[in-house]
Amino acid sequence: MNDTLARTRAAQAASQTAFAVLAAISFSHLLNDMMQSLLPALYPMLKAHYDLSFGQIGALTFTYQITASILQPLVGRYTDGRPRPYSLSMGMGFTLCGLALLAYAHTYALLLGAAALIGTGSSVFHPESSRVARMASGGRHGLAQSVFQVGGNLGSSVGPLLAAFIVLPYGQSSVVWFSGAALVGMFVLFQVGHWYRTHGLQRLKPRSVGAPAPEAAPTRKHVTMAISVLLALIFSKYFYLASLTSYYTLYLISRFHVSIQSAQIHLFVFLGSVAAGTLIGGPIGDRIGRKYVIWGSIVGVLPFTLLLPHANLFWTGVLTVPIGMILASAFPAIIVYAQELLPGRTGTVAGLFFGFAFGMGGIGAAVLGRLADSAGIDLVYRLCAWLPVIGLLAGLLPDVERPRREAMQ
């Protein structure tokens, strides 16, 4: 009798969304990505101070993002079999070291080293944080991923403002002031790690909530095709986003002759719209299905990206809002869709997709930087406008949620 009661209580706990944990992991994501966004936000200052080319700016982004992209799937796969609750705090420590180096780097080589350390911090933080979000979801996986990811988006949007009003006036060394945020993040993540060890691992065991029945599971062929399509969609999304996150301020300065601070404010507006889209995408996917969110998000952005290269300053600012919202709404749905395709491999899936996203962003920044050097920044935006066409591949995704919906009827 007592055993039955204990199992019932455990099942009830697993089905409840742990909003305090989600809030903590989202706040930590905000701090993590706020600090990481300082690097691209400093590009105009670093470009002028070190006389960097667009290609060298792209190499900085490439170093940061490729470091994360290579390590994240390895971290996720390792922790699927050997959970490391306190690795979250350790990952924030790498970011802290990267910030300190970035603040006092006096050569381009040291800037690359700082970018690599910041990328290493991301490689540890994102797979395990995504796992914690699923642990705390209570079956509302899309909502949990959105809450987790929106913290990072908000942090990314705040970073350019902090760079504009703190780092730019006080210089590169003022980056070290943000080490306080890293210490706060390490403390919060240590508490999350304690919950992870004492409660989270038990919550992750009941995987039946929201998952299709085993007999209805997709075949290996369908899984391989679906993962390939999702990676192609990530490529189009993050290659395009690289043109905005890495070069939007430089594009505005070059084409419209705005000030650095004005360009940073425009970047803040765009990144804020990305945060809004991320928060919306997950819950909508829980309600209507991930596939439809993925399809609508990637393809729906095409009219706006095609208009952007031909717009004046006002309409450029306006168009980046729906672009950011529509593109960002897909990522929580993609992560949860892939985790449902591969149940039991939460860390591997998160590491693969976060890592691939970072890698595509890094490669995109490097390639687009070279293109901007040789053909001009305007051509970059005219070519990237067509990348969302790849979103048509979403029509090939199997409907892995149909068995669950039919079982609920």
Q: 316, 324 in Cβ contact below 8 A? A: no
Q: 54, 46 in Cβ contact below 8 A? A: no
Residue type, 277: G
Number of domains present in the structure of the chain: 1
Higher pLDDT, 282 or 361: 282
The mean per-residue pLDDT over the stretch 216-228 comes to 77
The encoded tokens of residue 206 equal: 């009941």
> Which of 203-207, 222-226, 232-236, 267-271 is the least confident region?
203-207
> Which of 10-24, 261-275, 281-295, 369-383 is the least confident region?
10-24
Give me the pLDDT at residue 146, please: 87
Give me the pLDDT at residue 200, please: 58
Sorted by sequence, the CB contacts under 8 Å of residue 108 that are 6+ apart come out as 50, 52, 56
The total number of residues written for the chain in this structure: 409
In a domain, 5, yes or no: no
Give me the pLDDT at residue 109, please: 92
The encoded tokens of residue 375 equal: 């053909």
Give me the pLDDT at residue 280, please: 86
What is the Rg, in whole angstroms, of the alpha carbon atoms belonging to the chain?
Answer: 21
Give me the pLDDT at residue 392, please: 83
What kind and span of H or E run contains 197?
Answer: none
Selection from 11-20, 140-149, 395-404 with the highest mean pLDDT:
140-149
Could you tell me which of 137, 151, 168 has the C-alpha nearest to residue 19? 137
In a domain, 3, yes or no: no
Higher pLDDT, 198 or 232: 232
Sorted by sequence, the CB contacts under 8 Å of residue 112 that are 6+ apart come out as 59, 60, 63
pLDDT tens-place string over residues 60-77: 878 887 787 778 888 888
CB atoms within 10 A of CB 265: 19
What CATH number is attached to the domain comprising 117? Answer: 1.20.1250.20
pLDDT tens-place string over residues 166-190: 877 887 888 888 888 889 999 999 9
3-state DSSP helix/strand/coil % of the chain, to nearest 5: 85, 0, 15
Measured distance CA(42)–CA(161) in Å, rounded? 11
Tokens 């990348």 map to which residue? 387
The tally of CA atoms less than 13 A away on the side-chain side of residue 322 is 16
Range of the domain at 260: 19-408
> Which of 11-20, 34-43, 94-103, 135-144 is the least confident region?
11-20
Give me the pLDDT at residue 212, please: 43
DSSP string for 90-133: HHHHHHHHHHHHHHH--SHHHHHHHHHHHHHHHHHHHHHHHHHH
In a domain, 9, yes or no: no
pLDDT tens-place string over residues 298-330: 778 999 999 999 999 999 999 999 999 998 888
pLDDT tens-place string over residues 346-376: 878 888 887 787 778 778 877 888 888 888 8
Measured distance CA(148)–CA(287) in Å, rounded? 18
Sorted by sequence, the CB contacts under 8 Å of residue 313 that are 6+ apart come out as 252, 256, 258
- Percent of the chain, pLDDT > 90? 16
**pTM reported for the whole predicted model:** 0.70
Measured distance CA(164)–CA(22) in Å, rounded? 30
The mean per-residue pLDDT over the stretch 195-199 comes to 82
The mean per-residue pLDDT over the stretch 126-147 comes to 85
> In 282-295, which positions are buried (b, 16+ CB within 10 angstroms) versus exposed (e)?
bbbbbeebbbbbbb
Checking if the pLDDT of 211 tops 50, the result is no
Measured distance CA(78)–CA(25) in Å, rounded? 21
Give me the pLDDT at residue 221, please: 79
In a domain, 375, yes or no: yes
In a domain, 7, yes or no: no
Q: Return the biggest CA–CA distance within the chain.
A: 75
The mean per-residue pLDDT over the stretch 197-224 comes to 58
Measured distance CA(71)–CA(79) in Å, rounded? 12
The encoded tokens of residue 147 equal: 């809450």
Residue 101 backbone phi and psi in degrees, to 5: -70, -40
Mean model confidence pLDDT for the chain: 81
> Which of 106-110, 287-291, 323-327 is the least confident region?
287-291
Q: 20, 200 in Cβ contact below 8 A? A: no
Measured distance CA(34)–CA(37) in Å, rounded? 5
Sorted by sequence, the CB contacts under 8 Å of residue 185 that are 6+ apart come out as 28, 31, 32, 92, 95
Measured distance CA(356)–CA(350) in Å, rounded? 10
In a domain, 370, yes or no: yes
Checking if the pLDDT of 402 tops 80, the result is no
Give me the pLDDT at residue 213, please: 41
> Residue 207 — very low, low, confident or very high, per pLDDT cuts 50/70/90?
very low
Checking if the pLDDT of 9 tops 80, the result is no
In a domain, 188, yes or no: yes
Cα→Cα distances 202→9, 11, 189, 338, Å: 12, 10, 19, 22
Give me the pLDDT at residue 322, please: 94
In a domain, 2, yes or no: no
Checking if the pLDDT of 93 tops 80, the result is yes
Measured distance CA(52)–CA(54) in Å, rounded? 7
Coil, strand or helix: which one is 84?
Answer: coil
Higher pLDDT, 121 or 297: 121
> Which of 66-80, 191-205, 274-288, 331-345 is the least confident region?
191-205
